[in-house]
Amino acid sequence: MIIRRRSAAGLLCMLAALAMFGAPPARAAKATATEPPKVELVLDVSGSMRARDIDGRSRISVAQQSFDEVVDALPGETQLGIRVLGSRYRFPGSPQSVGCRDTQQISPVAQVNKVEAKAAIATLRPTGWTPIGLALRAAAKDLGTGETTRRIVLITDGEDTCAPPDPCDVARELAAQGTHLVIDTLGLTLDDKVRRQLTCIADATGGTYTAVQHQQQLTSRLNQLVHRAGSTYQRTPQQVAGATQCTNAPVLSPGVYTDRERISEHRYYRVPVGPGQELRASVSVALDRRLNPDYGVLLRATSQDGQELVRGTDASSGRTDVLSTGLRWSDQRPTGSSEPSASASAGTGGSAAGTVCLVVSNSFAAPPGVRTTPGMPLELTVDVVPSSPTPNGPDLGRGWLLLVVLTAAGLVAGLIVGWLARWRIAIWKEN
């Protein structure tokens, strides 16, 4: 009986220790009111989509399966719309004046009813003309305007057969309106004229072009673009043009920027970093064309005279769509110090506050016949925050508390097991 009481007391001690030293409650994060990410898929349902040249299946059936899988995997916060072109009037057969107005929205830009959206997709049959320019204008209206980026993803296997309006001119027109609209294009054929037109549309709005040859490739790319809408919509990137050297590079404040970098190019940007501040930067480069294997992206922070301060790299040897890397660098001078920092180099106009040069480089190489201009789209994120405190030495920090709790719990558990073992042995001897 005494042993049982001691066991109960030991258990109570262990529970009390865990309650006393448990982790503090997490603080609730402040909710920020932002509009949801918005993206619209625009699908070509013209007569040429009947061709059976993708994995032995018709282009339209491949697109329908990919749409179904994208709808199933849609992030909960994303508002998705679906618009089609060429789905009602037969080509040839209907007057061109009628067929070239043939675009309709089959699912509004909203929280998707997956059953209804997939049912609407399943009923599509390729019949008509290809009014791409008209469909892009309509899709832009579907998405509306706002302070955050909207995305259109165009999936087609052919050129616009209804110009005017020319789809490339429409893309330029939409970009000039400043509506934060990005158009990505996916081509279901390797036709050179189609590639040039889709590349022009994407380039005009800072989007990407991808040639698709397999169903799984289409699904994967659609999912990436839809998820990218959710990860980049909250802060619309600002257009910037990096320089070929630090001295005349654009000065960036904290924010998100977009630029284009050519193969084997170095792009320079400047960021003021003061005493007691920490620079945090990251870059993502979208690989929107075929490249030779074994490539990488390098992001460096240097002083104005070229001394490297820190670097970040990312590399790949196979097919990928985005390379990303980042870095952190702190100006260790005390706040208010007038001493020059490592980033304020003599003879280069550096101030006491200091200026860090960010350099984006790549080791890309393109196979013969692949275009090298314009450069590949990159997104650069810059932030300057108070420096993180440097620890005095290696330690466990708050981990000591958990270590004490675990040690105490182990000790109590060992005592309990020992008492129980002795009690069982005593009873066995009595019997």
Name which of 28-37, 132-141, 396-405 the model is least confident about.
28-37
Please tell me the predicted confidence (pLDDT) of residue 323: 81
Phi, psi dihedrals of residue 427, rounded to the nearest 5°? -65, -40
Residue 26 lies in a domain: no
Please tell me the predicted confidence (pLDDT) of residue 334: 59
* Helix (H) or strand (E) segment spanning residue 385: strand 376-386
Residue 356: partners with Cβ closer than 8 Å, 6 or more residues away: 270, 271, 272, 273, 279, 301, 302, 303, 309, 329, 343
Please tell me the predicted confidence (pLDDT) of residue 209: 86
- Angle made by CA atoms 256, 179, 269, in degrees to the nearest 5: 25
> What is the distance, to the nearest Å, from the Cα of residue 71 to the centroid of all Cα atoms in its chain?
18
Residue 62 lies in a domain: yes
Are 299 and 283 in contact, with CB atoms under 8 Å apart? yes
Residue 397 lies in a domain: no
Residue 365 lies in a domain: yes
Report the alpha-carbon distance of residue 409 to residue 431 in Å, rounded.
Answer: 33
Q: What is the pLDDT of residues 409-428, one digit of tens each?
A: 888 888 888 888 787 777 77
Residue 355 lies in a domain: yes
Are 325 and 399 in contact, with CB atoms under 8 Å apart? no
Please tell me the predicted confidence (pLDDT) of residue 409: 84
Q: Which of 350, 369, 386 corresponds to the end of one domain?
A: 386
* Residue 387 scores a pLDDT above 80: no
Residues 282 and 367 in one domain: yes
Report the alpha-carbon distance of residue 227 to residue 216 in Å, rounded.
Answer: 16
Please tell me the predicted confidence (pLDDT) of residue 54: 93
| Average pLDDT score, the chain | 81
344 C-beta neighbours (distance < 10 Å), count: 23
Stretch 395-412: mean pLDDT: 70
Report the alpha-carbon distance of residue 355 to residue 271 in Å, rounded.
Answer: 6
Residues 205 and 257 in one domain: no
How many residues are there in the chain? Answer: 431
Residue 318 lies in a domain: yes
Q: What is the pLDDT of residues 321-376, one digit of tens each?
A: 678 888 989 876 655 555 555 555 433 333 335 899 999 999 988 888 777 778 88
> What are the E-state strand segments in 247-336?
255-261, 266-272, 277-286, 295-302, 308-316, 322-330
Name which of 55-59, 271-275, 380-384, 424-428 the model is least confident about.
424-428
Report the alpha-carbon distance of residue 183 to residue 409 in Å, rounded.
Answer: 58
Query: Could you tell me the CATH number of the domain that includes residue 115?
Result: 3.40.50.410
Stretch 56-65: mean pLDDT: 95
Most confident range, picked from 31-35, 250-254, 398-402:
250-254
Q: Counting Cβ atoms within 10 Å, is residue 245 exposed (0-12), middle (13-18) or buried (19+)?
A: exposed
Residue 91 lies in a domain: yes
Please tell me the predicted confidence (pLDDT) of residue 394: 44
Instruction: Supply the range of the domain harboring residue 275.
Output: 247-386
Residues 51 and 189 in one domain: yes
Q: How many domains does the chain have?
A: 2
Residues 99 and 130 in one domain: yes
What's 393's DSSP letter?
A: S
Residues 138 and 112 in one domain: yes
Share of the chain above pLDDT 90, in %: 38
Is the pTM for the entire model greater than 0.75? no
Residues 303 and 354 in one domain: yes
Residue 108: partners with Cβ closer than 8 Å, 6 or more residues away: 81, 142
* Residue 225 scores a pLDDT above 80: yes
Please tell me the predicted confidence (pLDDT) of residue 187: 93
Residues 223 and 264 in one domain: no
Q: Where are the alpha helices (H) located in 22-113, listed in sequence order? A: 59-72, 96-99
Q: Which of 174, 209, 232 corresponds to the end of one domain?
A: 232
Query: Could you tell me the CATH number of the domain that includes residue 347?
Result: 2.60.120.380
Residues 218 and 252 in one domain: no
Residues 206 and 353 in one domain: no
Residue 314 lies in a domain: yes
Residue 174: partners with Cβ closer than 8 Å, 6 or more residues away: 136, 137, 140, 181, 183, 204, 205
Longest Cα–Cα distance in the chain:
105
Local structure of 268: helix, strand or coil: strand
Residues 256 and 226 in one domain: no
- Angle made by CA atoms 105, 76, 60, in degrees to the nearest 5: 40
CA dihedral for 127, 129, 132, 137, sign (positive or negative): negative
Residues 72 and 191 in one domain: yes
* Helix (H) or strand (E) segment spanning residue 411: helix 399-430
Stretch 236-247: mean pLDDT: 88
Q: Which of 232, 266, 300 corresponds to the end of one domain?
A: 232
Residues 210 and 263 in one domain: no
Report the alpha-carbon distance of residue 162 to residue 95 in Å, rounded.
Answer: 12
